[in-house]
Structure 1
Amino acid sequence: MVSVVCGFFFLLLMLRAVVTDLAHMTISNRLVGAILVCFLIFVFANGWSPAAIGLHLAVSMTALLLTFAAFALGWMGGGDAKLISATALWFGPTVALWDYLFLASLFGGILTLLLILARACWKPQTGNASLDRLLSPTSGVPYGVALGMAGIIVASRSPDMQGVFALI
């Protein structure tokens, strides 16, 4: 039952990343920390071996190093870098990680194209701060939307998450 609750919270936290990045263009450290805590509870509830935990940690740390370098170069936001690392912790060295990265790239590209089109058609004068921020040509892309959606889709296909959907 603990596994199911952790899986449910993981999905909720990924949805929260989508919403907060879309509305505020930020992904909080608390949200990323909650994803990490859920993972640790999930792992210990399922009795994972130290070797399996170590592999997942190694994947997460590698993701953090790569995405932090991208952040330092101005290619991505710091919240996005931390979210990728936290999500990589869950998926570990599996095909799911590659599915996640592929879908996040695909959704991120689509989101970027939609924002370019929207910014070409509408001016940031709607009176809604979140919408105006998205329409501003000087704003970045809330990539957490793509990361969260990809995380939800990939996690929902995992056998570990089937218990979550059985409860719904």
Structure 2
Amino acid sequence: MFPLAVFSIAMIFGALWDLTTMTIPNRLTIALVAAFVLMAPLVGLSLQQIGLHMAAGVAMLLVGMVLFGLGWIGGGDAKFVAAVALWIGWQDLLAYLLIAALAGGALTLALLFLRRLPLPELLWRRAWIARLHDQSAGVPYGIALATAGLIVLPRTIWIELAASAA
């Protein structure tokens, strides 16, 4: 159960950091990767399974860097999606990406709508809310990436391993 908690807490922190700062810190992504590397063999993933999960993470890092280079996502998002893909693996990666895209689209539409509304004076005092309301600001896509990770988690091998250990 410990790996499930670690992953879930990392998703929550990633979403909150991105919401409030429009960044996902490298230390969170590094911690998520390190936790996978430490826990995967301890919970019984085979070397082949670990290798496939690592390949999924590297593939998403490469895709993320291309999208970052095109200016479509932030660098933190590119690294975060790679770390999440490491945990998710190939088996559930397509579902994860689809859910992240849908959640990201919904988040973008909601922000575009809210940015057209006047922001009450009380909320202007909160720097992170004012930043979110700024028409020229980006979208904290880490929220969508983290949400998708939490939605897909119950379908992953981590749940199978936790159930077999119980």
What is the TM-score with the length of structure 2 in the denominator?
A: 0.90
Query: Of 102, 108, 111, which residue of structure 2 is paired with 1:106?
Result: 102
Residue type at the aligned position of 1:106: L
Tell me the SS of whatever aligns to 1:36. helix
Q: Mind listing any 5+ residue stretches in structure 2 that lack a counterpart?
A: none
Aligned AA (1:46): V
Distance 1:135 1:146 in 2: 18
Equivalent residues of 1:60, 1:92 under 8 A apart: yes
1:33 aligned to which of 19, 30, 33: 30
Is 1:92 matched with 2:86?
A: no
Contact 1:124–1:135 (8 Å) recurs in 2:
no
Runs of 4+ in 1 over 6 A off after TM superposition: none
1:24 aligned partner, one-letter code? T
Matched residue SS, 2:90:
coil
75 and 104 in structure 1: CA distance in 2 versus 1, 3 angstrom threshold:
same
How is 1:114-125 mapped onto 2 (pairs within 5 angstroms)?
114-123=110-119
Provide the C-alpha distance between the structure 2 equivalents of 1:9 and 1:48, rounded to a whole number of angstroms.
17
Mean Cα displacement is larger for which, 69-78 or 120-129? 120-129
Residue 24 of structure 1: how far off its partner (Å): 0.6
TM-score (norm: length of structure 1): 0.89
Instruction: Give how far 1:157 is off.
Output: 3.8
CA RMSD of aligned residues (A): 1.9
| Aligned mates of 1:80, 1:21 — CA distance in 2 | 9
Q: How many Å apart are 1:124 and its aligned residue? A: 8.4
Establish whether residue 60 from structure 1 lines up as the match of residue 50 from structure 2.
no
Report sequence identity in percent. 40
Single out whichever of 142-151 and 154-163 deviates more from structure 2. 154-163
Partner of 2:137: 139
The CA deviation string for residues 82-126 of structure 1, in whole angstroms up to 9 with x for no partner, is: 0110011111110x2111111100010000000000111124861
Residue 3 of structure 2 contacts residue 158 of structure 2 at CA under 8 Å; is this kept in 1? no
